[in-house]
Amino acid sequence: MPDLGSAYDPQKIEEKWQKRWAEARVFESEADPSKSKYYVLEMLPYPSGTLHMGHMRNYTIGDVVARVKRMRGFNVMHPMGWDAFGLPAENAAIKNNTHPREWTNKNIAEFQRALRRFGFSYDWRREISTCEPEYYRWNQWFFLRMLERGLAYRKKSRVNWCPKCCTVLANEQVVNGGYCWRHEDTLVESREIEQWFLKTTAYADQLLDDLKQLEGGWPERVILMQRNWIGKSQGAKVKFVVADVAGAEPIEVLTTRIDTIYGATAVILAPGHPLLPKLLEGSPARAEADAKLAKMHQASVKTEDLATMEKEGLFTGRYAVNPFSGEKIPIWVGNFVLMEYGTGAIMAVPAHDQRDLEFCRKYGLPVRVVVEPLEGEPLIEEKMTAAFDEHHQGKLVNSGPYNGLSPEQAIAKMATFAEQKGFGRAETIFRLKDWGISRQRYWGTPIPVVYCLKDGMVAVPDKDLPVLLPPNPKLTGMGESPLASTPEFVNTTCPKCGGPARRETDTMDTFVDSSWYFYRYCDPHNDKGPYDSAKAAYWFPIDQYIGGITHAILHLLYSRFWCKVMRDLGLIKHNEPAARLFTQGMVQKGGVAMSKSRGNVVGAEDMAQKYGADTGRLYTLFAAPPEKDLEWSEESIEGSWRFLNRVYRLVERHAGGVRGQKNGSIDAATATAREKTLLRKVHQTLRRVTQDFETRWHFNSAIALIMELTNVIYLQEPLEKAVRPEVRGEVLELLTLMLAPMTPHLAEELWEMLGHTGGLWKASWPAFDEALTREDEVEIPVQVNGRLRGRVKAAVGTGGDEVEKQAQADSMIAPHLAGKSIVKRIFVPDKLLNLVVA
């Protein structure tokens, strides 16, 4: 630590106050309906090794909020726990030949120590760890409730498969656009396997509609991202009859643009479409089909890869009949059409959809314009390189009886017509899919289901929960999933008939753990249920949830889904888990997010070792406003360290002279000029800092204001000469209180130095004195034609006429007015005068 010749010793102070807080149980709270509650929560961390700056930033913001709310008199719940299941523990276990539990617990211990070191005000009695049976038992319990209600089901679904590892890969393990992370020469294949899903789509409408309830409390962009993710649109399903293939079912396509159906020049099927074998039977395309289809199947399952890969197609040799025009159009297979989405078949309208255009250009299929722009150049089919898809500014052409209609009108009419004729109908389409929760991994919650030869799939009864993970798995990262290769886990008896049965060997996605953990905090040791409803009713909804923008969609959407399911189970009454959400920006290094794989992680504890927790906390808050990304640089932390030393020396110097002096109402009328300057500055600062804490959370500018205040006090030194002790006391106490939420250890120490024995944790947030904030005189900038030409001084509240008179008399401004007449005057009292001259 740099020696600044000061007595400020953060290591000593921080240890001292952390001990006192713990002894006084300052951060522990209980549900108490007679008190107004405040539930502030930061997203629980995955304990991945060391606490890095992203965590540190998240928890500092949350801690400031928790401490401010305590000072405001709320009964604050501020818990912390561990998202302890997941892939990295399993990878580490494979690599180091340890048990995932060992690795995880070691990391948790390290994380916990680091968090305690920073003085975050958690109620540690509520700590949870999602990998403990007492927690994951309730994941299983919820799963069974969803199974009973048809919200959990199995279906075939595609996974990434490495033929060398003979195992399922996570998307993260697919690298370089489709290769295995451990075998970089091996292309990942996609395989279909039977997997468990939760029916998020059953709540699609509610998930969308209830976003309205979150307006004002959640960032607009998060609401927007969720809305787009759910992706509700009005579309239609239309059946195309297959020509010349006996017994072939019609192909049902899904489209949001039925109005463009006269422009369809092909029908394109997903490579896995069930009708495909029948179409290819006896077709000239038969010969080349197998190889091509196999290649299409080999693609990664990542959306981003699907969206950017080269479009590949295969002509089936068959034709379909457009039910509107009667036209025969070719049936193709396309690698960009997904079986999982819609009906697994689309109609290609190249003139009005970019992907279709690219596909048709590649394979020489015709382009036909059926919507002309209302304004501008008409479209030329042969030359189009960009599809015209702006349906708000077009009218239909080449569309038989629908010519001249707007796309909106045509969509409605054509859907009705299709329905009347029985070959189609209007349909609401969601982009949202059901949530695939199956993982072929060890380190997760076992899915509580068994398969019996006689009774088929049987749910594990509640009384047999939890289904425990086997203690000694064989973890190799190769071959079948770890649970499947553990006979003592797999082999069991059927709960119904008692005969031999096999356990389900998939574990649950870790997003299950994080979807409801915040309810468990209310009642962390309940062994009768996930939590007590009365306790949840008191604490919920979360008043302020704080976490990374990176969780804007998945975690928050799954949590919202889980909340609605729990409501329908009768556990709670509210619709949404978090009333307010704050998304902090990322901490970056070298322009990208910190991550272990990039090797650019900056540990938070080093900072506390060097400068103390308070300097670290302050600097994290000062470096940028919390919602913005922050490029990490340690160079300027010295400034925060110097500032805290400045404050410490200031209070140290004057504490003796003010101790025991009554502070209370200060008579402004008898105050000296220097006293007035100080009192005005401190109350103005308090007003703005209060606003920043309450509304904008721009802690960086709040700190800047407090720094400015400190500079002003320094310039008034020596204070004891012209400033009465009670004024000095008032100024220093307010300074201390304003810092308290951000640098709590230092503030406690200063508070004690100023003569308070009770502990600052009992103090309230101070109120500013409006009368003391008032300025006597202001400087008003004067513009001529919008350009700054000078400034005039005037008493607060001076009228426009008077200010204009002064401006005209001002030697700087007058030349710009000479010989011209004022045609307009814009006057903002105490702020600005703009004279428009001609």
Which residues ranging from 190 to 219 are in contact with RNA (CB under 7 A)? 195
Q: Which is nearer to RNA, 96 or 303 (CB)?
A: 303
d(CA 796, CA 701): 25
Amino acid sitting at position 374:
L
**DSSP E strands: which ranges in 358-414?**
371-373, 394-396
Q: Which CB sits closer to RNA, 261 or 623?
A: 623
Instruction: Restricting to residues 238-277, name those near RNA by CB under 7 A.
Output: none
Specify the stretch interacting with RNA by CB under 7 A; choose among 220-228, 267-275, 450-458, 666-674: 220-228
Stretch that binds RNA, among 268-276, 370-378, 504-512, 734-742 (CB under 7 A): 504-512
Q: Which is nearer to RNA, 185 or 635 (CB)?
A: 635
Q: Which of 167, 161, 151 is nearest to 192 (CA)?
A: 161
- Cα separation of 309 and 177, whole Å? 9
- Minimum distance, C-beta of residue 782 to RNA, in the bound complex (Å): 9
Least distance from RNA to the Cβ atom of residue 215, Å: 14
| DSSP designation for 187 | B
178 binds RNA (CB under 7 A): no
CA distance 406 to 814: 60
CA–CA separation, 2 vs 782, rounded Å? 47
Which residues 699-758 are close enough to bind RNA by CB under 7 A? Answer: 700-701, 703-704, 707-708, 711, 714-715
List binders of RNA among 472-501 (CB under 7 A).
Answer: none
Contacts (CB under 7 A) with RNA, residues 91-130: none
The closest alpha carbon to 169, from 184, 156, 155, 154, belongs to 184
Q: What residues numbered 793-822 form the site for RNA, per CB under 7 A?
A: 812
Number of residues that bind RNA (CB under 7 A): 104
Question: In the 8-state DSSP scheme, what is residue 696?
Answer: I
Counting contacts by CB under 7 A, is residue 179 touching RNA? no
**Are 118 and 608 a contacting pair, CB within 8 Å?**
yes
Q: 190 is written with which tokens?
A: 């996609």
Strand intervals (E) in 59-203: 75-77, 81-82, 128-129, 152-162, 167-169, 174-175, 179-180, 189-198
- Which of these segments, 2-10, 103-111, 310-318, 363-371, binds RNA (CB under 7 A)? 2-10
Query: Using the rule CB under 7 A, is 392 a contact of RNA?
Result: no
Q: Are 504 and 449 in contact (CB under 8 A)?
A: yes
What is the residue type of 572?
I
Question: Residue 800: which residues within 8 A CB-CB, separation 6 or more?
Answer: 825, 827, 829, 833
Please check whether residue 260 is in contact with residue 349, taking contact to mean a CB–CB distance below 8 angstroms: yes
Task: Report angle CA 471, 474, 476 to the nearest 5 degrees.
Answer: 140
Judge residue 287's burial from the number of C-beta atoms within 10 Å of its C-beta, 0-12 exposed, 13-18 middle, 19 or more buried.
Answer: exposed
Binder among 24, 722, 788, 796 for RNA (CB under 7 A): 788
User: In the complex with RNA, which residue's Cβ is closer, 510 or 544?
Assistant: 510
CB of 705 to RNA, least distance (A): 7
State which of positions 633-672 bind RNA (CB under 7 A): 633, 635-636, 638-640, 642-643, 645-646, 649
Amino acid letter, residue 265: T
Neighbours of 637 (CB within 10 A): 19
Q: Among residues 308, 385, 757, 821, which is the contact residue for RNA, using CB under 7 A?
A: 308
Amino acid (one-letter) located at 504: E
Would you count residue 170 as binding RNA (CB under 7 A)? yes
Binding residue for RNA, selected from 94, 225, 293, 602, defined by CB under 7 A: 225
Which element (helix H / strand E) includes 547?
strand 544-548
Question: Between 399 and 700, whose beta carbon lies closer to RNA?
Answer: 700
Residues within window 763-782 making contact with RNA, judged by CB under 7 A: 779, 781
Give yes or no for residue 5 binding RNA (CB under 7 A): yes
CB of 644 to RNA, least distance (A): 10
For RNA, the binding residue among 99, 368, 728, 789 (CB under 7 A) is 789
Tokens coding 837:
């001259």
Binding-site string for RNA from residue 585 to residue 624, where x marks contact by CB under 7 A and - marks none: -x-x--xxx----------------------------xxx
Query: Is 625 a residue that touches RNA (CB under 7 A)?
Result: yes
Instruction: Give the nearest distance from C-beta 30 to RNA in angstroms.
Output: 29
Which residue type is seen at 314? L
Q: Name which position in 55, 78, 126, 551 contacts RNA (CB under 7 A).
A: 551
Q: What is the largest CA-CA distance in the chain?
A: 106
| Tokens (6 digits) for 609 | 């070792």
CA distances (Å), 420 to each of 399, 424, 426, in order? 19, 8, 11
Q: How far is the CB of 165 from RNA (least distance, A)?
A: 12
Q: Establish if 86 lies at the interface with RNA (CB under 7 A).
A: yes
Say how far apart CA 280 and CA 282 lie, in whole Å. Answer: 6
Nearer to RNA, 13 or 188 (CB): 188
Which of 248-256, 517-525, 679-687, 695-703 is the region at the interface with RNA (rule: CB under 7 A)?
A: 695-703
Nearer of residues 141 and 181 to RNA, judged by Cβ: 181
52 binds RNA (CB under 7 A): no
Question: For residues 719 and 658, is the Cβ–Cβ distance under 8 A?
Answer: no
Query: Nearest distance from residue 263's CB to RNA, in Å?
Result: 19
509 binds RNA (CB under 7 A): yes
Residues 71 and 61 sit within 8 Å (Cβ to Cβ):
no
**Integer Rg of the chain from CA:** 34
CA distance 380 to 389: 15
- Other beta carbons within 10 Å of 95: 11
Of residues 250 and 639, the one with the C-beta less far from RNA: 639
| Binds RNA by CB under 7 A, chosen from 241, 384, 397, 553 | 553
Residue from 131, 168, 501, 807 touching RNA (CB under 7 A): that is 168
Nearer to RNA, 722 or 828 (CB): 828
Comparing CB distances to RNA, the nearer of 171 and 409 is 171
Give the residue with the Cβ less far from RNA, 45 or 729. 45
C-beta neighbour count of 650 within 10 angstroms: 19
- For residues 405 and 396, the answer to whether their CB atoms sit within 8 Å is yes
Q: Which of 1, 24, 109, 224 binds RNA (CB under 7 A)?
A: 224
Choose which of 36, 96, 233, 354 interacts with RNA (CB under 7 A): 354
When binding is defined by CB under 7 A, the residue of 88, 524, 616, 729 that contacts RNA is 88
Site string for RNA, 310-349 (x = CB under 7 A): ----------------------------------------
Q: What are phi and psi of 195, to 5 degrees?
A: -140, 160
**CB-nearer residue toward RNA: 490 or 712:** 712
Q: How far is the CB of 260 from RNA (least distance, A)?
A: 18
**Smallest distance from RNA to CB 541, Å:** 23
Token reading at 130: 């999602």
- Residue 70 sits in the site that holds RNA (CB under 7 A): no
Segment interacting with RNA, rule: CB under 7 A, options 222-230, 370-378, 398-406, 534-542? 222-230
Burial 50-73 (b: 16+ CB within 10 A, else e): bbbbbbbbbbbbbbbbbbbbbbee
CB of 596 to RNA, least distance (A): 9
Residue with Cβ nearer RNA (464 or 708)? 708
When asked if residue 785 is in the footprint of RNA (CB under 7 A), the reply is: yes
Q: Return the structure tokens found at 527.
A: 């062994």
CB atoms within 10 A of CB 146: 20
CA 728 to chain centre: 45
Query: What string marks each residue from 414 to 443 as x (binds RNA by CB under 7 A) or -?
Result: -----------------xxx-xx-xxx---
Which is nearest to 646 in space by CA: 711, 705, 731?
Answer: 711
